[in-house]
A and B are shown apart, each in its own frame.
Chain A
């Protein structure tokens, strides 16, 4: 039962092998998380050596901070729209590619292209795409005679968040598409043959056979989208920096501004800590839901 080597030999090896990983995790993740929690009770500029203990003041300020709640609300809008738009489109594309087989190989190659750019590059690209004079969206609308539909895509507080969400979808639909495609490809062909012998149409086969079999992977996709959207930062920062007038502010962009632009490291830590607890609660909740589901099954 001991496997390789004797007991003491093994435990020395175990400690030696785990040490580097836990050293990195301790210094760059565990300690920082604990320090952030601690700093959330202090008033600190980050520059001066003086940290003033303020008790729960930061936390009280946070609960009454309209900007934070707005940012959290925006995060939730991003979560909801991401799941509602990305997953169905990705599913449709995956089914399309799956049914098309090798004839659509070249389409699959191009569909994956958005995944190959860094988020910063995608943000910079779409800032140009949304540009009213030199861009793509407005000139296309004008060419189609729909100039009236054009807006100041990133400058209008009413629609800036939706403009950014559209880019998030553009960037991540290929990811979920490949995820679903891999699952579709793993469904045995015999099922398809049996269904068509029974006279099932393509649509019936999808809704009654393929979709139920993909429940697990869809829940995985929703979880990834949920956690990812709550942590979202790069794209928004590049495209709008949370503006105009907080229209696209997220928890992460607000935390960054407070800590590194306004040098309110204490309050910045409070926002970061709140974000940490929100993300961890969401993660634990999805794990619990999954476990209950797998027990039911």
Chain B
């Protein structure tokens, strides 16, 4: 009996310890964002602000932050739409049509999962400047779509393989060709897969850094991660202001998470499904 109690206490202690490790940085971030600089200097970090100052948030919102938020929304929504459409078309072919190149081509696509973005950075940068797209949001869409296609195709093909043969036979007897079978049957039946892939890519691209860093430069063309980068370069010493930027930028995803935890978690874990 005593051993059981000790064990329960040890578990509880471990649970609380990790709660602190995971949560403390967030506590620091959120409440420091409301502090004035001298407050952070003169009182320990764990004390709540002496006076809840909104001026950090005002400075951030008066800058280009909202523009970056809008940029991120534009780039992410266009890219994710393209990924879902293009990947489901390709996945349909890999899952439902037999031809001699099917397996080698699918293997080549899956190999794309491991390719580091850095090996394409110089050529993509050169291509973007040549096309006159440097420092535009359009520049990001090409690499964003391409790098996320392999996983999206892989996951969607799994879903489309599960569509029963009989449905295909029935569609053929009704005179439906492959294109209408894709639109009317395969795509609607893959809805859970599309949701998972959509969430995964939306989060990944919402946070994408290196392409946006290389392919854009002016503050009005920056996406959210680059806004954070620019602010922390510009206000190195002003920790409360940076914490306000971080709190604001984390807010959208945290809100979505609070309302749809399981969806967000399973979507974000999609990258590991291939095991």
Contact mask A28-41 → B, CB, 8 Å, 1/0? Answer: 11011101100100
Contact A109 B261 (CB under 8 A): yes
- A107 to B29 Cα, complex, angstroms: 19
Contact A276 B97 (CB under 8 A): no
Contact A129 B143 (CB under 8 A): no
Is A56 an interface residue when CB atoms closer than 8 A count as contact?
no
Contact A272 B23 (CB under 8 A): no
Rounded to whole Å, the gap between the CB of A269 and the closest CB of chain B is 6
Within 8 A of A (CB), among B248-275: 249-250, 253-254, 257, 261, 264-265, 268-269, 271-272, 274-275
- A285 to B186 Cα, complex, angstroms: 35
Is A234 an interface residue when CB atoms closer than 8 A count as contact?
yes
Which residues of B have CB within 8 Å of A119? 207, 209, 225
- Which stretch from A16-24, A61-69, A154-162 is at the chain B interface? A16-24
- A217 to B150 Cα, complex, angstroms: 21
Is A110 an interface residue when CB atoms closer than 8 A count as contact?
yes
Is B11 an interface residue when CB atoms closer than 8 A count as contact?
yes
- Which stretch from A76-84, A190-198, A204-212, A225-233 is at the chain B interface? A225-233
- Which listed residue (B11, B21, B178, B214) contacts A4, Cβ 8 A? B178
Contact A124 B115 (CB under 8 A): no
Known: A5-B178, A111-B18. A28 touches B146 (CB 8 A): yes
Within 8 A of B (CB), among A121-169: 121, 124-129, 131, 133-136, 139, 143
- A21 to B145 Cα, complex, angstroms: 9
- Which listed residue (A116, A120, A272) contacts B257, Cβ 8 A? A116
Rounded to whole Å, the gap between the CB of B151 and the closest CB of chain A is 12
Q: In chain B, what residue has the closest Cβ to A227?
A: B114
Within 8 A of A (CB), among B1-18: 7, 11, 14-15, 18
- A202 to B10 Cα, complex, angstroms: 14
Is B32 an interface residue when CB atoms closer than 8 A count as contact?
yes
Contact A178 B265 (CB under 8 A): yes
Within 8 A of B (CB), among A246-263: 251-252, 255-256, 259-260
- Which listed residue (B19, B97, B121, B214) contacts A272, Cβ 8 A? B121
Is B199 an interface residue when CB atoms closer than 8 A count as contact?
no
- A267 to B254 Cα, complex, angstroms: 41
Contact A276 B149 (CB under 8 A): no
Q: In chain B, what residue has the closest Cβ to A11?
A: B99
Which residues of B have CB within 8 Å of A88? none
- Which stretch from B48-56, B57-65, B122-130, B189-197 is at the chain A interface? B122-130
Which residues of A have CB within 8 Å of B93? 13-14, 17-18
Which residues of A have CB within 8 Å of B229? 120, 124, 238
Which residues of A have CB within 8 Å of B209? 118-120, 233-234, 237
- A164 to B101 Cα, complex, angstroms: 45
Contact A118 B224 (CB under 8 A): yes
Known: A4-B171, A27-B146, A259-B121. A20 touches B23 (CB 8 A): no
- A92 to B111 Cα, complex, angstroms: 32
Contact B15 A107 (CB under 8 A): yes
Contact B114 A280 (CB under 8 A): yes
Contact B44 A27 (CB under 8 A): no
Is B206 an interface residue when CB atoms closer than 8 A count as contact?
yes
Is B210 an interface residue when CB atoms closer than 8 A count as contact?
yes
Most chain B beta carbons < 10 A, residue from A115, A182, A202, A221:
A115
* Sample of 27 A–B contacts (CB below 8 Å): A3-B169, A4-B172, A17-B92, A17-B93, A24-B86, A27-B142, A28-B142, A32-B120, A32-B124, A32-B127, A109-B261, A117-B253, A118-B209, A118-B224, A120-B225, A128-B28, A134-B40, A134-B45, A134-B239, A139-B44, A175-B268, A224-B272, A238-B232, A260-B125, A276-B119, A283-B111, A283-B114
Ranked 6 nearest A-B pairs via Cβ: A220-B275, A118-B207, A28-B146, A32-B120, A32-B123, A21-B90
